[in-house]
């Protein structure tokens, strides 16, 4: 496995992690907060199905240069630069939680490169058409983001994670297979990077769901209290080519146990 800092034309660096090998490339988008480093359960599930995993740290995380004012759609150009540097003419994309929107950005804005997308527990674009916050145990950081960057930064200085946001199944997953995700998230926290993520989630993304023309698999837990399943239900209604696997007993973390099966879906799709 390799890690490198990729210089970008605008002067920023993007820290890139690559499991290497000759498998079909899968670009992984991390959640909020995470470092972008390769997580063993992701790499192992992908390798068993013939995928090479490439991940990167979004601006402000894990060694990548911050970029205040970034949008969700900004991720697509970063990934284009990454793919050019690694000589990846075609690739699939996948992501979990806050990685979901950035996964969709690449699917929408890189139609010449992206073959399909998998989003687990991902957010939908902010909307007042329905109760976008409904079902979140703690929506305070996202509401603060709606009030602007300074408010969100101030909120981040005192914010504490509410452990009731995770279900018993989530905590079990973090004690088991997904322990590396919890460890990475704990070490990757950055007030400014997390604020920039939240600001991007609640602002216009720079593309619409209708722009995503590749097949998308949505996977969501029915007991998710961080990103409620209504987000994937909205995406299902608005994406041109999507299917939703709703796992009624899963929360925000335990739904990641479906990743191996989701990658089976992706492998079978690419084999057609």
Q: What is the pLDDT along the chain (272 residues), one digit of tens a residue?
A: 799 999 999 999 999 999 999 999 999 999 999 999 999 999 999 999 999 999 999 999 999 999 989 999 999 999 999 999 999 999 999 999 999 999 999 999 999 999 999 999 999 999 998 999 999 999 999 999 999 999 999 999 998 999 999 999 999 999 999 999 999 999 988 999 999 999 999 999 999 999 999 999 999 999 999 999 999 999 999 999 999 999 999 999 999 999 999 999 999 999 98
Question: Rounded to whole angstroms, how far apart are CA atoms 250 and 219?
Answer: 10
- The DSSP annotation for 97-120 comes to TTHHHHHHHHHHH-TTTEEEEEEE
Residue 250 · residue 223 · CB < 8 Å: yes
Report pTM.
0.97
Token pair of 228, please?
């409620």
Asked if the 2-270 domain carries CATH number 2.60.40.1260, the reply is no
Helix axes 74-85, 99-109, angle to 10 degrees: 70
Nearest to 120 by CA among 15, 214, 224, 237: 224
Give the residue extent of every domain in the chain: 2-270
Query: 61 burial class (0-12, 13-18, 19+ CB within 10 angstroms)?
Result: buried
């Amino acid at each position: 496995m390799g890690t490198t800092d990729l210089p970008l034309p605008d002067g920023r660096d993007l820290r890139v992690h690559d499991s290497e090998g000759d498998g079909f490339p899968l670009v992984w988008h991390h959640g909020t907060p995470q470092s972008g480093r390769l997580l063993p359960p992701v790499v192992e599930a992908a390798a068993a199905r013939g995928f090479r995993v490439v991940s990167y740290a979004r601006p402000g995380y894990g060694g990548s240069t911050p970029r205040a004012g970034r949008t969700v759609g900004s991720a697509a150009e970063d990934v284009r630069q990454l793919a050019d540097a690694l000589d990846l003419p075609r690739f699939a994309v996948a992501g979990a939680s806050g990685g979901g929107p950035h996964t969709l950005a690449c699917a929408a804005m890189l139609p010449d490169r992206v073959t399909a997308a998998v989003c687990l527990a991902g957010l939908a674009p902010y909307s007042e058409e329905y109760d976008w916050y409904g079902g979140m145990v703690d929506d305070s950081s996202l509401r603060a983001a709606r009030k602007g960057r300074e408010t969100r930064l101030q909120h981040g200085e005192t914010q504490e994670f509410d452990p009731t946001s995770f279900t018993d199944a989530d905590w079990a997953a973090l004690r088991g297979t997904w322990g590396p995700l919890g460890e990475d998230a704990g070490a990757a926290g950055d007030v400014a990077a997390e604020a920039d993520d939240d600001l991007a989630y609640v602002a216009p993304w720079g593309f619409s769901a209708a722009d995503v023309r590749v097949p998308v698999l949505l996977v969501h837990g029915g007991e998710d209290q961080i990103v409620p399943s209504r987000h994937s239900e909205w995406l299902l209604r608005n994406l041109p080519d999507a299917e939703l696997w709703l796992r009624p007993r899963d929360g925000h973390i335990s739904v990641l146990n479906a990743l191996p099966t989701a990658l089976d879906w992706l492998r079978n799709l690419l084999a057609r």
